[in-house]
Structure 1
Amino acid sequence: MTVITLGPEGTFSHELARKLACDPLVLKPTIHGIFAAVAAGEGDGIVPIENSEAGAVGETMDGLSHNNLAITAEMYMPIHHNLAALVPADKIRVIYAHPQTHEQCSRYIERLAVPVIHTSSNASSALEAKKTPNAGAILPESAAAIYKIPIIERNVENNQENTTRFVRISKTPGPGCRPGKCSLLIDPDTDRAGLLYDLLGVFARRGINLTRIESRPTKRGMGTYVFFLDYAVTGQTDEALSELMAITTVRKLGCYPKIEVPP
């Protein structure tokens, strides 16, 4: 099966796909492009969905909202960032960084006290820094090696336990073998006091652990939101889902296993 993920070469998504021995592998310049390719039946996708420091990846959340695709697996990868440049640190006049990378390294970048230009990927940061005089980039080690940019300082992330969760997306649900987690998209068709309390109560009464709840604007107007829920699979999850669907509009995003990432 073809796997589609974020490129160019040197992104964390590309590094993860290589660790998982994905072949053939197709790289797209944006997460939106990955969703479009998967929706067109070109293969499965691997996209980042949340980071322990910066939170949800908005492009992925919106892609799940607007495309009828399924989550079929999740993967966790430690994330370490580095300052790389062709000039010494005191000569750097601008930094290129992906927005999520910027947030994950915000304290270090603040101390550099130079302007930051956002890019579409960590690999794009490397390409821009290489062609711009007196520029640096915040990069994974793999990108610095691929684009031959010396690393000036390693592990500049805010938290040394920095981790990104990735998911595999597909046009069809996974086979359902030994799923550990399920994901839902809730799109309330009403606005009333106590609605969120009622929705969460469906799980609380059955002792089902909600591992994540995230709201995103519907883009239908101010004050309207959809909710993403992840929950641990138990013997009562089907019963909970039936009750939830009687209360509000629910789209099942999939039940799936965790795939261990080789070091």
Structure 2
Amino acid sequence: MSGDLSEHRKEIDRIDDEILRLLNVRSKSVIEIGRLKKQQDADANLHTPAREAAIIERLVAQNTGPFPSEGIRPVYREIMSASLSLEGPQKVAYLGPRATFTHMACMQKFGSSAQYIPVHSIKEVFSEVERGRANFGVVPIENTTEGVVNHTLDMFIDSNLLIYGEVLQEVSHHLLSKSGVPEEIKKISSHPHAIAQCRNWLETHMPHVPVSEVASTARAAELCLEDASVAAIASQLAAELYGLKVIKSRIEDNLNNFTRFLVLSQKAPERTGKDKTSLMLSIKDKVGALYDLLRPFASHGLSMTKIESRPSRRKAWEYIFFVDIEGHIEEDRVKKAVEDITGRCLFMKVLGSYPAHS
């Protein structure tokens, strides 16, 4: 069979038929697991990141090739996304509209079979999850170029939602238009952050083309459909969803440009062994207060991956700190550190322990 192309294709067809048969066998087990979950806890989240991570890690570890290990994660993300849809609808609210980088982060986390609900503000994302109209919410928290998203931090002050997970999404900007012909472009539109992240490229390659700000990169893509002389700075997903052509790909000035997103839920995820804990706290106004706050983390051997401060809005010169540390709140060292810190704070709130992005 080594030299017969038709025989190789027949063999691939046979294997594909077997893969499909096994996917259906797998799906029957998934449906039964979903039934048992609902019997045990009717309100339980069907999505279990610990189990998903264990499946992928096991498959990657035993993979001998030639199928690339980096291809296993996206393939099984879609298999598990489709499987979850058999157990029940997975509704995910996100800061819309469609084809934004938040939408892309959602799909990276939950796959294409989830039911996505675009809303107009970060506050609405929190509200959809708090009211039970969505199982999860996805909001941006920080960007490597533009910094922290303060509105997201502020929402945690009064919300009882927990952080269920995080997603790191590469922000790669493309210049798109209806025709794909650069000579036809008379105007470029995009979100202010996208324009700022592509400023040097625009000044070098299209210095005489006016650039205008719009509400989102997706709205910029919509404008291309309305006017062939308009180009948009937007994502590859926007090109696919709106049927646009890429004039130039990856025009961002910083190629190491990522946005971190948080997944919100009313429930906490299971412990995975590779977790992160987020805390919100307010410290007493005294000399050395911040040093006293940080010392227990070091004394208990915890790595702090982020600290951000915001005005409390309740008292002048009083600040709230948002802290990320490695580890899970159920670990003794994390629990003891939090206990030590609590006595030194005006208030302390655990925002969640959740799987660190991998």
More helix by share: 2
Q: Could you tell which deviates more after superposition, 121-130 or 190-199?
A: 121-130
Taking the aligned partners of 1:106 and 1:227, their CA distance within structure 2 comes to: 32
Taking the aligned partners of 2:165 and 2:157, their CA distance within structure 1 comes to: 18
| 2:107 partner SS | helix
| 2:244 partner SS | coil
Taking the aligned partners of 1:218 and 1:91, their CA distance within structure 2 comes to: 50
More strand by share: 1
Taking the aligned partners of 1:176 and 1:194, their CA distance within structure 2 comes to: 34
The TM-score with structure 2 as length reference comes to 0.65
* RCO comparison, higher one (Cα < 8 Å, 6+): 1
Task: Return 5+ residue gaps in structure 2 as ranges.
Answer: 1-89
Taking the aligned partners of 2:186 and 2:258, their CA distance within structure 1 comes to: 29
Taking the aligned partners of 1:53 and 1:129, their CA distance within structure 2 comes to: 26
Q: Which residue of 2 aligns with 1:242?
A: 339
- Which aligned pairs between 1:225-236 and structure 2 lie closer than 5 A? 225-233=319-327, 235-236=332-333
Code of the residue aligned with 1:67 in structure 2: it is S
Deviation, 1:242, is: 0.4
Deviation, 1:251, is: 0.8
Q: Which residue of 2 aligns with 1:219?
A: 313
Q: Does 1:45 align with 2:140?
A: no
**Structure 1 residues 32 and 110: alpha-carbon distance in aligned structure 2, compared to 1, 3 A threshold:** farther
Taking the aligned partners of 1:124 and 1:222, their CA distance within structure 2 comes to: 39
Give the share of equivalent positions with the same residue, in percent: 31
Q: Which residue of 2 aligns with 1:73?
A: 165
Q: Which residue of 2 aligns with 1:5?
A: 94
Contact 1:218 1:225 in 2 (8 A): yes
Contact 1:101 1:138 in 2 (8 A): yes
Q: Which residue of 2 aligns with 1:252?
A: 350
Q: Does 1:171 align with 2:266?
A: yes
Contact 2:104 2:169 in 1 (8 A): no
Contact 2:105 2:168 in 1 (8 A): no
RMSD over aligned Cα atoms: 2.5
Contact 1:95 1:129 in 2 (8 A): no
Within the candidate set 102, 106, 113, 1:17 is matched to 106
| 2:231 partner SS | strand
- Which aligned pairs between 1:20-169 and structure 2 lie closer than 5 A? 20-21=110-111, 23-43=114-134, 44-86=136-178, 89=182, 92=185, 94-111=187-204, 112-113=206-207, 114-119=210-215, 121-131=216-226, 134-169=229-264
Code of the residue aligned with 1:39 in structure 2: it is E
Taking the aligned partners of 1:91 and 1:198, their CA distance within structure 2 comes to: 61
Q: Could you tell which deviates more after superposition, 97-106 or 237-246?
A: 97-106
Deviation, 1:103, is: 3.8
Task: Return 5+ residue gaps in structure 1 as ranges.
Answer: none
Contact 1:95 1:115 in 2 (8 A): yes
Deviation, 1:85, is: 2.9
**Structure 1 residues 93 and 247: alpha-carbon distance in aligned structure 2, compared to 1, 3 A threshold:** farther
Taking the aligned partners of 2:316 and 2:177, their CA distance within structure 1 comes to: 42
Taking the aligned partners of 1:97 and 1:218, their CA distance within structure 2 comes to: 33
Q: Could you tell which deviates more after superposition, 168-177 or 93-102?
A: 93-102
Deviation, 1:192, is: 2.2
Contact 2:166 2:260 in 1 (8 A): yes
Code of the residue aligned with 2:140 in structure 1: it is P
Number of aligned pairs? Answer: 258
